[in-house]
Amino acid sequence: MADAGSCPEKSPVELWPNRRIIFLAVVVALIFYAVFRLPEGLNYLFARASETLILLIFAIGLSYFLLPVVDLLTRIPVPLETRAKRNTAATITVVLFIVLALVLLAVVVTPLVNEI
């Protein structure tokens, strides 16, 4: 059995296995359930922050699903520094996601508008 000093260092992404992320999602869901079951005074406070919390959870989920694409793009041999390569890959991934979302929206909305 190898000691801890001889194994290669893991990136922060590899330190978060799927079980830990699923556990975190369940905890966040339980917190949301508890928040919306609170007394009226606290419920008003959390209702004001709910849109921000929902957007935050959406952003976390989106980054979780886009991370493999960024990792794949960073493996392409390009003469850039590691940080610049990662930033470029992240930018390309986000732009591709936005384009894909717009195309999907156009493909779905156009027939619906024609039907209405």
Identify whether the C-beta of residue 86 lies closer than 8 Å to the C-beta of residue 74.
Answer: yes
DSSP string for 35-76? HHTS-HHHHHHHHHHHHHHHHHHHHHHHHHHHHHHHHHHHTS
55-113 confidence digits (pLDDT tens): 888 888 888 889 999 999 899 888 888 888 999 999 999 999 999 999 999 898 888 88
* pLDDT tens digits along 6-50: 555 555 555 667 777 788 888 888 887 776 676 677 667 777 777
Read off the pTM: 0.55
Q: For residue 14, give the DSSP letter.
A: T
Q: How big is the chain by its Cα radius of gyration, in Å?
A: 20
Q: Confirm if 76 and 93 have CB atoms less than 8 A apart.
A: no
